[in-house]
Each structure stands twice: as C-alpha cells, then as structure tokens.
C-alpha cells in the first residue's frame, strides 16, 4: 500500500513538472529560445521514454523515472546546442498535436476502419511542420511553443481532474480502438483549455514577447561607434 502511494506521488510530481516547466514557454517561447528548445526536447523525449518503459519494462517506477530524466536531459541539451535539431523537434511535437486534433474531429464525424489513415496523417503533418519550423524559425517557433504548451497544460489538468480520461478517449477514437469510456461535459471543458492557451500564447508572443528588436537605421551604427570613441578619448584625456 505504501509503495503504491509512493508511486502515485512520483507520478503526480512527474506530471506537475511538465505542466509547470513548459508553462512559461507558451508565452515566452521566442524570447527565450534556448530555454524553449531545452524544454521541448526534455519533455518530448522523456514522455516517449516513460511510455515505452511502462509498456515494455518491468523495472520499479523509481528506476523508470531516473531513466526517463536522464534521456530527457540528454535530449534537452542536444536540442539546445544543435539549434536545427531543436527546431525540428518543436515542429514534430506541434505537428503531432495538430494532427491528433484534426483526426479527433474527423473521427467524430466520419468513423474510418483502418489505422493507416491516422498513422499517415500524423507522420505527414509532423514532418511538414518540422520542415517548415527549420525554414521559418521565428513564426513557427512561436506557433509550436504555444500549441505544445497548451497540450501539456491540458494534459496536466486532465490528469489531476479526470485521471487522463479525455486523452484516453482521444487515443481510442483516433486509432480505432475499443471505446472504454465516454467523456462527460466536464471533459469537453478541459479540452477547451487547449485552444484557449494556444490563443493566449499566440497573442502574447506576436504582440509582446515575440517581437524582434527594430533594425538600426543606415548610418546609425557608425554614429554610435564614433560617439563611443569620442567618449573614450575624452575619458583618457
């Protein structure tokens, strides 16, 4: 009983870490690019490692979390030092999130019977957005940080309030699995957290934190250097 309670506390701390660490990146993604790329690489790699370990590994949860943290830190450092790797990763996770949202809406209107459709859509959209993120760095970094940050915040709210009921339903609906539970009206309210956070993140970054500094006018740098040299010579005299 004690080990189960300890495992639940570790999982709660694990989920809370993701929701809180990436929350500022949804509003300051472009202004603090290095931090955003580290958070993107850390969260995406560690989440993937955590899911694989839970399915395939028989280790205790504490060891799984240690492995997950090590892989996440390595991926975060890689995405920070190699900028193109970080931009590509941010595009992958944003494209995956957008593809899942589109497929969930599409599956609610038309129920397909093959898994190849969602797999192809997810891979195609993720690669397209990732390639665009490397080419249009500023715009796509703002969009991807807002989209991915909103997903993590929505997932954290869903975990603490409904024990991932909404996310399980989305996964089963998109990938043609047996529906084990129906979401209630409160689940749809939690789902509305994602577009709300995306909208707020886009507005804050495009209007305030994501603005590029104005370029100096022609000849202004020369006048600044000349005035600084005059000031230095005056001080020496």
User: Nearest to residue 25, comparing CAs of 201, 192, 208?
Assistant: 201
User: Whole-model pTM?
Assistant: 0.77
Predicted confidence at residue 5, as pLDDT, reads 41
For the record, the structure tokens of 71 come out as 């892989």
User: Which residue's structure tokens are 């859509």?
Assistant: 121
Q: Where along the chain do its domains lie?
A: 2-231
Neighbouring residues of 172: CB distance < 8 A, sequence distance ≥ 6? 178, 179, 180
**Contact assessment for residue 28 and residue 36, using Cβ atoms and an 8 Å cutoff:** yes
Neighbouring residues of 179: CB distance < 8 A, sequence distance ≥ 6? 169, 172, 173
10-residue averages of pLDDT along the chain (237 residues): 43 55 58 80 84 79 82 88 87 90 87 84 91 85 86 82 82 79 81 87 77 55 50 39
**Contact assessment for residue 159 and residue 15, using Cβ atoms and an 8 Å cutoff:** yes
CA distance 190 to 186: 6
- Average pLDDT over the chain, rounded to an integer: 76
**Contact assessment for residue 133 and residue 141, using Cβ atoms and an 8 Å cutoff:** yes
CA distance 131 to 94: 12
**Contact assessment for residue 66 and residue 96, using Cβ atoms and an 8 Å cutoff:** no
DSSP letters of 115-170? THHHHHHHHHHHHHHHHHHHHSHHHHHHHHHHHHHHHHHHHHHHHHHHTTHHHHHH
Predicted confidence at residue 235, as pLDDT, reads 40
Count the neighbouring beta carbons within 10 Å of the beta carbon of residue 234: 8
Predicted confidence at residue 66, as pLDDT, reads 84
**Contact assessment for residue 142 and residue 30, using Cβ atoms and an 8 Å cutoff:** yes
Predicted confidence at residue 234, as pLDDT, reads 34
* Dihedral in degrees, nearest 10, Cα atoms 34, 36, 42, 43: 180
């Amino acid at each position: 009983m004690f080990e189960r309670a300890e495992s639940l506390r570790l999982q709660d701390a694990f989920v809370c870490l993701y929701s809180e660490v990436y929350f500022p990146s949804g509003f300051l993604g472009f202004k603090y690019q290095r931090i955003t790329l580290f958070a993107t690489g850390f969260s995406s790699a560690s989440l993937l490692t955590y899911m694989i370990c839970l399915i395939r590994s028989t280790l205790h949860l504490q060891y799984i979390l240690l492995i997950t943290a090590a892989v996440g830190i390595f991926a975060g450092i890689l995405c920070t030092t190699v900028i193109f790797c970080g931009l590509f990763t941010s595009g992958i996770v944003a494209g995956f999130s957008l593809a899942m949202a589109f497929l969930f809406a599409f599956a609610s209107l038309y129920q397909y019977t093959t898994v190849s459709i969602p797999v192809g859509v997810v891979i195609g959209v993720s690669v397209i957005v990732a390639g665009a993120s490397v080419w249009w760095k500023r715009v796509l970094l703002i969009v991807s940080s807002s989209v991915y940050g909103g997903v993590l915040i929505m997932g954290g709210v869903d975990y603490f309030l409904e024990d991932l009921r909404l996310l399980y339903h989305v996964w089963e609906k998109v990938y043609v699995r047996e529906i084990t539970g129906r979401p209630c009206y409160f689940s749809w309210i939690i789902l509305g957290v994602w577009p709300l956070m995306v909208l707020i993140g886009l507005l804050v970054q495009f209007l305030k934190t994501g603005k590029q500094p104005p370029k100096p006018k022609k000849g202004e740098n020369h006048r600044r250097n000349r005035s600084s040299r005059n000031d230095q010579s005056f001080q020496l005299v």
